[in-house]
């Protein structure tokens, strides 16, 4: 078992497929560390906040690819430490895609299975909104004022 994504790299792979105009919204929140332990292998230890809660991130992604068309993906990660290498990484807990081609592509090409749902990343007036609808039920929504501040990737 290996970490699903390195902490400091984008959600891309070396592949022959080309995506364009990819947009991201990454939000962080915390939850009970005991609950996260049920979903990650023993090799990993969840990173915890000062209050002892596990740190999770949601990565909303919107883009387009010649073979897939426009797509929306939402992935949920636990920030973990690899007990073997000592590296900090994002361990993928679950993911959602909005079409069968995106779901198949992620499973067969990248080995990252997704569930069918309706994740969406869009701009509403001056706010960036990420939402997830699963089986017609609104599951979560996150917002951020559009272009409020820029962070350094260094």
pLDDT by 10s per residue, the chain, length 154: 334 444 443 444 555 555 667 788 888 888 898 888 888 888 899 998 888 899 888 888 888 877 777 888 999 999 999 899 999 988 888 899 998 888 888 888 777 888 999 999 888 888 888 899 998 999 988 888 755 665 555 5
> Who's near 86: CB < 8 A, 6+ residues apart?
none
107: Cα separation from own chain's centroid: 15
Residues 32 and 54: their CA atoms lie apart, in Å, by 6
**DSSP structure class, residue 42:** T
Nearest CA-CA partner of 26 in 74, 58, 61, 56: 58
Whole-prediction pTM value?
A: 0.74
Q: Judging by beta carbons within 10 Å of its beta carbon (0-12, 13-18, 19+), is residue 81 exposed, middle or buried?
A: middle
23: Cα separation from own chain's centroid: 12
The pLDDT of residue 96 is: 92
């Amino acid at each position: 078992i290996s970490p699903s994504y390195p902490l400091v790299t984008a959600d891309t792979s070396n592949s022959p497929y080309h995506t364009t105009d990819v947009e991201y919204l990454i939000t962080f929140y915390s939850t009970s560390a005991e609950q996260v332990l049920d979903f990650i292998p023993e090799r990993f230890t969840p990173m915890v906040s000062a209050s002892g809660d596990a740190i999770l991130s949601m990565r909303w992604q919107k883009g387009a690819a010649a073979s897939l068309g426009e797509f929306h993906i939402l992935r949920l990660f636990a920030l973990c430490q690899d007990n073997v290498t000592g590296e900090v990484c994002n361990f993928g807990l679950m993911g959602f895609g909005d079409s069968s081609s995106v779901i198949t592509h992620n499973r067969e090409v990248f080995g990252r299975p997704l569930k069918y749902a309706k994740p969406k990343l869009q701009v509403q007036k001056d706010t960036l909104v990420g939402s997830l609808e699963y089986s017609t039920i609104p599951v979560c929504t996150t917002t951020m004022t559009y272009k409020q501040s820029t962070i350094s990737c260094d």
